[in-house]
Chains A and B, each alone.
Chain A
């Protein structure tokens, strides 16, 4: 199945992880800031990596994408996606809201999420790659 990695980033952490995932599974990678929802294709699996910033907000590079989604109201039936969120448990009330918002946005447009949304905690002991690469491998095995 064709696969593409997308990322929303503010400090660059999600960008680096998305590039690592894309390199690991051999897929293309794009910044959500440069991605038009009209380009979503049924039959492609999108792996979306996003952080959370500020008070549970989307990171800067995902905001133009969210605006386009709201304006275009695309029909994403047949589109499959998975979300890897990056959060910081120092801020428990809004932990990983970025990933949650992307999931809600995609699901509301008719896309189907594959597997569970996974979250990395910047204040936790795990390296993001150690969670994300096996996550991507498992998705590729499903696809």
Chain B
């Protein structure tokens, strides 16, 4: 019998477990995560008002509930168990650790108070354990032309009533102006048209699009948005294209963001700059099929870099799982029987279910869940009844 350990219970790791469970029904599959709870970016990256997107969790619940996959939460690689030890215990180890560092702008002033990365902000809005609610003022510049930038705009521009059915529990600040600035021309923007169109339903935000020339679905979606002006709008959203960030200005806090487009300059007064220009972190060096070394693999963003949505990570995980299934030798390593004594504190799936139940029960009016916001409280809930 084969045994496989996957590091990271986010979408990449869970899809990999799913594909492995299908290809190797007899294999013992364990998923480890540094957080006490599973699902990674599905829980802490997907916007809290996109519950339909988060619903892929129902697939992953089945791994733990019916397919014998075991969850080891609150286990940190290198602290609680080393990679070398895991490779001794398992026939294959998969690093699905993602990328969670916000890429820096790399211009003067990018470390001023008031400059925040999208990862920090979306984790906080998703109540990631021990995150601090970000200080966001009334005038915000969002730098980036991808779907994460759209998530930031939409959530800042939504009214409380428009967040009904979400699991957003923080009260977001009353932003009056949002400038969304992209370095590339509108034609090359990475927005999904469907995400842009969603902004056209905002009931309290007007939208102006500047300089969106060219053709294609993104241009069409931007044209539809331009001039959106619901009665009583409290927030004005402006899109700008082709502007390269030059500097973030301010003494003790951001006061403006400056951009260049050829000889032209654009200075946008603001108190907050949110960057949504991608993620960094430790990428794994692997071959084209996802092998790092014999018995050691990688999948998801840790493998490919911070590109691609949930379905792309599914396809990637399925391919890496096929590689693993083809590579496996005779098997017979000691697997979780050896891991469990090393990590007696690990949160199991039953512990996560107690956290999940408590979060649903605590949902305020109009919300589907109120996430537990500290690791300590999560661990206390997880251990209750054990």
Contacts and interface: CB of A to CB of B under 8 A. Distances in A.
A127 B56 contact: no
B192 A54 contact: yes
Interface stretch (B47-55, B72-80, B85-93, B344-352): B47-55
Which of A11, A56, A88, A91 has its CB near the most chain B CB atoms (within 10 A)?
A: A11
B56 A13 contact: yes
Interface residues on B, range: 20 to 34
A7 B227 CA distance: 40
Which of A10, A12, A93, A128 has the most C-beta atoms of chain B within 10 angstroms of its own C-beta?
A: A12
Interface string A102-123: 0000000000000000000111
B193 interface: yes
A93 B49 CA distance: 17
Contacts of A90: 49-52, 198
B194 A122 contact: no
- Majority secondary structure, B binding face: helix
Contacts of A55: 192-194, 197, 217
A128 B217 CA distance: 31
Most buried by A among B165, B201, B310, B311: B311
A12 B56 contact: yes
B307 interface: no
A121 B52 CA distance: 8
B18 A122 contact: no
Interface in A61-116: 88-94
B52 A123 contact: yes
B125 interface: no
A91 B198 contact: yes
Instruction: Give the bracket for the number of chain A residues in contact with chain B.
Output: 20 to 34
A120 B197 CA distance: 22
Contact of A11 (B49, B51, B197, B314): B314
A53 B311 CA distance: 10
B61 to A, nearest CB: 10
Contacts of A88: 52-53
B311 A10 contact: yes
A127 B61 CA distance: 13
Nearest to B311: A10
B56 A94 contact: no
Interface in B188-213: 192-194, 197-198, 201
A55 B193 CA distance: 7
A16 interface: yes
> Which of A13, A90, A121 is the most central at the interface, judged by chain B CB atoms within 10 Å of its CB?
A90
Contact of B314 (A12, A56, A91, A123): A12
Contacts of B310: 11
24 contacts: A10-B311, A11-B56, A12-B15, A12-B56, A12-B59, A12-B314, A13-B56, A16-B62, A54-B193, A54-B194, A55-B192, A55-B194, A55-B217, A56-B194, A88-B52, A88-B53, A89-B52, A91-B197, A91-B198, A92-B201, A93-B197, A122-B55, A123-B165, A127-B58
Given A16-B59, A123-B165, A127-B58, 12 more contacts: A10-B311, A11-B56, A11-B311, A12-B314, A13-B55, A53-B311, A55-B192, A60-B311, A90-B51, A90-B52, A122-B51, A128-B58
Give me the 3 closest cross-chain CB pairs, A-B, nearest first: A122-B52, A88-B52, A123-B52
